């Protein structure tokens, strides 16, 4: 835009001023106050030339000011454009970081799921091991205690064997197994057998004076 003004209006006005100055100098040197000159195909006397110069100078100043305003406006817009470019660049940088963080989060989520599965598997293994340990401890306790073998008949706790806590299991086919308290009340009445119609074992506490009536042989295993 600046180049455009300088090549058209500015040069034209500059030419006018230059021409008027030359004419004025010539007129002054020969003493002719009524000298005339031709500008843009129009004839002006001295006063007209002076007026034309003043108008041209005013127009030139207006053009310079317009050019300055345009350049200032262009500078502001250039700065706005630079600021917007910085904002866009920053936004792209944030998006890039977000994508990277999302990938890291997905990886961590996957690792967390794997850890949960491993923990669940370990919990199951620990539970199974504890059950196995408890079973082994029960077996050990039973083996440490000497079992009492009962034939078919009646037996008195505190006399035929020590009072305490026992687990009764059948010896052979099995049959009725009945227990009375020292007051004569019925405490246990089961069919002790490994078959489907009875129970394979029974845990109970036998106090002093308790009476056992067994139809078939059985075994009492001391337990805690």
pLDDT at 152 over 90: yes
CA distance 203 to 151: 18
- Is 28 inside any structural domain? yes
Instruction: Write out the H or E segment, with its range, that includes residue 94.
Output: helix 46-144
pLDDT digits (tens, 9 = 90+) for 66-99: 888 888 888 888 898 888 888 888 888 888 888 8
Q: Encoding tokens for residue 215?
A: 């139809």
Domain end (from 58, 75, 92): 75
- 168 is in which domain, residue-wise? 148-222
Of 18, 46, 75, which residue is a domain's last?
75
- Residue 210 within any structural domain of the chain: yes
- Residue 5: the pLDDT is 43
Q: What span, in angstroms and rounded, lies between the C-alpha atoms of 34 and 38?
A: 13
Instruction: State which of 24, 50, 75 marks the end of a domain.
Output: 75
Q: Taking the model in full, what pTM does it have? A: 0.40
Report the domain count for the chain: 2
Whether the Cβ atoms of residue 146 and residue 212 lie closer than 8 Å to each other: no
User: What CATH number is associated with residue 218?
Assistant: 2.60.120
């Amino acid at each position: 835009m600046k180049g455009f003004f300088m090549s058209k209006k500015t040069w034209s006005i500059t030419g006018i001023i230059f021409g008027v100055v030359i004419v004025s100098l010539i007129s002054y040197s020969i003493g002719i106050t009524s000298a005339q000159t031709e500008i843009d195909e129009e004839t002006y006397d001295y006063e007209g030339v002076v007026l034309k110069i003043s108008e041209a100078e005013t127009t030139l100043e207006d053009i310079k000011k317009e050019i300055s305003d345009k350049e200032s406006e262009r500078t502001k817009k250039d700065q706005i454009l630079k600021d917007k470019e910085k904002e866009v660049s920053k936004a792209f940088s944030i998006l890039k970081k977000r994508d990277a963080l999302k990938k890291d989060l997905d990886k961590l989520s996957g690792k967390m799921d794997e850890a949960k599965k491993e923990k669940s598997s370990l919990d199951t293994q620990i539970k199974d091991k504890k059950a196995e340990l408890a079973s082994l401890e029960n077996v050990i306790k039973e083996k440490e205690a000497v079992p009492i073998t009962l034939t078919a008949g009646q037996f008195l706790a505190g006399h035929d064997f020590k009072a305490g806590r026992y687990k009764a299991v059948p010896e052979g086919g099995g049959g009725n197994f009945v227990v009375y308290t020292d007051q004569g009340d019925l405490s246990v009445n089961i069919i002790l057998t490994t078959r489907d119609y009875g129970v394979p074992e029974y845990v109970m506490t036998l106090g002093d004076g308790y009476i056992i009536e067994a139809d078939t042989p059985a075994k009492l295993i001391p337990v805690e």
